[in-house]
Chains A and B, each alone.
Chain A
C-alpha cells in the first residue's frame, strides 16, 4: 500500500508540575500519493507536533503512522522536511547543500550531478550554485531548502511554515514555485501554515485543526491549488468561492481563538 496513513495519533506531554497537556487527540488521516494538503489552525493546536511525529522526530503516546506499509519509528529519507529557516548548512555552498542527501547515500557526482543541477535551475538557483548560504537572501535560502529536499527524492515532503519568514512578495513567488514543483514531481506534500490565504492556495486538501486537545476540526477539498498551477495566483484569489471559503475559515479560527482567550480568562 502506497501513501501515508495517520491512525489515531495522540500526544500527551507531562509537565514537570504534574499536569499534562494533550497536544493531539485521536487524529486520523489518510493521504494518497501526490496529494497536497495544507494544515491550518490557531497557535497551540498541535500542527507542528503532528508534523514532528510524521517526520519521526517525536514518538506519539498513542496511535501509529504507517508509510508505504511500514510503521514509522524515526526519521527517514522517504519523508523529507522543509523547515521555516536555519536548517541549511552554512559551511557548504548551495550545490553541496542541495546534493547533501544523495552524497550521504554514497552516490557519486555522476549519479546526482544532473538531477541536482536540474533542480537548481528549476528553483532559480542556477547562477547561485557556488555561493555561500550566508550570501543569499531569505527567499533564496528557502529555495535551497526546497531543492535540497527534492534532490533526496522523498515520497512525502513535510513543510513546517516554509514561507513564514518571507516578505509578502517573495512569499507569493514561492507559493507559485511550490505549486509548480508539486505538479512537476507529483510528490505528496503536507504544508503547515499560519496564513489562511496560503492554506487555500496551496491546499488540494485543507485541514483546519482545533486546539486543547489538538484535533481535526474540519476538512476541505479545494480546487484552487489545481487552478494555481498554470495561472496567476492573484487571479486564483478572484475565483468563485475563494473569498467565501476564506471568510468561513477565518471566522472558524477566530472563534477558536476567542474560546481559548475566554477559557484562559475563566481560569484566572
Chain B
C-alpha cells in the first residue's frame, strides 16, 4: 500500500517536473542538435537532460526524507507520521449478570526509539476501572484491562464495545483512536494510527545515515575505521584485478597468436568464463580460508578470464592490413607485437578492464558478506545482524559511490590513453 503510494508520488513528480522544465526552461544554446528535426530514433541526438538528472536525484532524497520524517525535508512535505502523544478510549465491560460499566484507558504514545514512561491514573468509579498504558509509536499493545477491575475475565466478564462500537473476541474494529482487536482470550490489542512513515529500523532518514557515517568515520566500526574497511575492499579488488590482468592479458595474446596456446587454454577459459565468481567463494574458503589470500585469489579468478578474453578479442580485432603493412615496412615479429598488436588491442583491453573492475568490486563485497574481519561487505553484513539499517544503507551507498568512481576513473584513463577508440 505504501509502496504503491510512493510509486504514484514518484510518477507524478516525473511527469510534473518534465512539464515544468519543458515550459519554464528555455534552451538558450542553439547547438547543432537543436536544429535537427528528426530526433526520435536518432540516438546521437539524445543526450541526458541535466535537469532530469538533478530532479531525479533530488526526488529520491525527497521521497526518502518525506517517508522517514527527515528533518531535512520541510514538515509540510512529510508523509503522515504515526500518532504521538496522549489518547484515550473507553471500553464497555459486561459482567456475567448482564450489568455493564464503561472505563477509560489513557494511552501515552512515545516516538520511535524513545522511552515510554509508565504513569498512573485515578481508577474512577464503577466495577470497571480506568487504566494507564505507555507504548511506542507504530507498535501495538496488548492491554490487560481487567487487572484492576472488580469483575475480571476469570469471573466471566467480557468486553462488548469499544468507544461505543460493539466488538467480540477475535473481531477487530477501527475508531479515530486507532485499531482494536479482541484476542481470543478477550484482552484488547490496541494500535494507534501508524501513519505512512517508515520506522527507522526499516528505513532511517537520510540525516541519520549521514550522522552514522560521520560517527563511523570518526570512531570506526568493529575495531577498524571506516577508511580501513573501505581500504581493505579496494586493496583486494586492485590486487586481484592487477594479478588477473597481469596473467590474463598475456594469456589472451598467446591465445590470439598461437594455435597451440589457443587449443590448450580454450577449453579452460570457455569453461571458467560462465562460472560466476560468487560460485567459487565456498571452494576458495575451503582451500584458502577467509583471509586475504583467498579473497585475492577469488578476485584474480574473477578478472583473469575477462582480461584473457578481452586481450584475445583485441588481437583478433587487428585489421590484417595493418599487420601486412608493418611487415612490408620491415618490422620484425616483436616490433609488430609492440607497435601494432598491443596498441591495437588497447581499446578492447580497456573495455575488458572496466567490466573486470565492476565484477571484482561486486565479488569482493559478496565475499566479505560471507566471511571477513574487515571490508565494506563485512560492515553491512554485521550491521544487518543487529538490524542497524543505517549502517547497512551507509555501506550500500559507499559501495555504489566507490564502484561508480572506479568506472569514471577507468573511462577517463581510457579517453586519455586510447583516444582513437571507435574512430578508425
Residues of A bordering B, CB below 8 Å: 55-57, 74-77, 79-81, 83-91, 100-101, 104-105, 132-134, 145, 148-149, 152, 154, 158
> Are B330 and A83 in contact, CB atoms less than 8 angstroms apart?
no
Complex CA gap A207/B319 in Å reads 29
Which A residues touch B339, using CB under 8 A? Answer: 89, 100, 104
> Are B319 and A90 in contact, CB atoms less than 8 angstroms apart?
no
Which A residues touch B328, using CB under 8 A? Answer: 55, 75-77, 79-81, 149, 154, 158
Which A residues touch B321, using CB under 8 A? Answer: 83-87
> Are B420 and A90 in contact, CB atoms less than 8 angstroms apart?
yes
Known contacts A76-B330, A91-B344; A81 and B325 CB within 8 A of each other = yes
> Are B331 and A104 in contact, CB atoms less than 8 angstroms apart?
yes
| Cβ-closest chain A residue relative to B335 | A104
> Are A81 and B343 in contact, CB atoms less than 8 angstroms apart?
no
Which B residues touch A145, using CB under 8 A? Answer: 325
Complex CA gap A133/B423 in Å reads 9
Complex CA gap A89/B325 in Å reads 10
A-facing residues in B343-363 (Cβ within 8 Å): 343-344, 346
- Determine which of B329, B420, B424 lies in contact with A86 in the assembled complex, contact meaning CB atoms within 8 Å: B424
Interface string of B114-145 (1 = CB under 8 A from A): 00000000000000000000000000000000
Residues of B bordering A, CB below 8 Å: 319, 321-322, 324-332, 335, 339-340, 343-344, 346, 418-420, 423-424
List 5 A–B pairs whose Cβ atoms lie within 8 Å, in order of A's numbering.
A86-B321, A88-B322, A91-B418, A91-B420, A148-B325
Which A residues touch B331, using CB under 8 A? Answer: 100, 104
> Are B343 and A91 in contact, CB atoms less than 8 angstroms apart?
yes
| Cβ-closest chain A residue relative to B321 | A87
Which B residues touch A149, using CB under 8 A? Answer: 328-329
> Are A91 and B346 in contact, CB atoms less than 8 angstroms apart?
yes
> Are B424 and A80 in contact, CB atoms less than 8 angstroms apart?
no
Which B residues touch A83, using CB under 8 A? Answer: 321, 324-325
Once A and B bind, how many residue pairs between them come within 8 Å at the CB atom? 78
* Nearest-Cβ distance from residue A100 to partner chain B, whole angstroms: 5
Complex CA gap A38/B239 in Å reads 58
> Are A134 and B424 in contact, CB atoms less than 8 angstroms apart?
yes
> Are B322 and A89 in contact, CB atoms less than 8 angstroms apart?
yes
Known contacts A91-B344, A104-B330, A132-B420; A55 and B335 CB within 8 A of each other = no
| Cβ-closest chain A residue relative to B331 | A104
> Are B322 and A86 in contact, CB atoms less than 8 angstroms apart?
yes
Complex CA gap A83/B321 in Å reads 7
Which A residues touch B343, using CB under 8 A? Answer: 89, 91
Closest 9 CB pairs of A and B: A77-B330, A90-B420, A87-B321, A75-B327, A101-B329, A91-B343, A134-B423, A87-B325, A81-B328
Known contacts A87-B319, A87-B322, A89-B322; A101 and B330 CB within 8 A of each other = yes
Which B residues touch A74, using CB under 8 A? Answer: 327
Which B residues touch A154, using CB under 8 A? Answer: 328
| Cβ-closest chain A residue relative to B325 | A87
Known contacts A86-B321, A87-B319; A100 and B329 CB within 8 A of each other = yes
> Are A55 and B330 in contact, CB atoms less than 8 angstroms apart?
no
Which A residues touch B346, using CB under 8 A? Answer: 91
Complex CA gap A84/B423 in Å reads 18
Known contacts A89-B322, A89-B339, A91-B343; A133 and B329 CB within 8 A of each other = no
Which A residues touch B424, using CB under 8 A? Answer: 86, 90, 133-134
| Cβ-closest chain A residue relative to B330 | A77
Complex CA gap A21/B40 in Å reads 49
Complex CA gap A161/B419 in Å reads 29
* Nearest-Cβ distance from residue A116 to partner chain B, whole angstroms: 13
- Determine which of B319, B329, B340 lies in contact with A80 in the assembled complex, contact meaning CB atoms within 8 Å: B329
| Cβ-closest chain B residue relative to A96 | B339
Which B residues touch A84, using CB under 8 A? Answer: 321
The winner among A55, A88, A90 for most chain B CB atoms within 10 A is A90
* Nearest-Cβ distance from residue B349 to partner chain A, whole angstroms: 13
- Determine which of A56, A90, A134, A152 lies in contact with B329 in the assembled complex, contact meaning CB atoms within 8 Å: A152
Complex CA gap A45/B328 in Å reads 24
- Determine which of B325, B335, B423 lies in contact with A90 in the assembled complex, contact meaning CB atoms within 8 Å: B423
Other contacts beyond A77-B329, A89-B322, A104-B335: 17, CB < 8 A: A57-B324, A75-B324, A75-B327, A76-B328, A81-B328, A86-B322, A86-B424, A87-B319, A91-B346, A91-B418, A91-B420, A105-B330, A132-B419, A132-B420, A134-B423, A148-B325, A152-B330
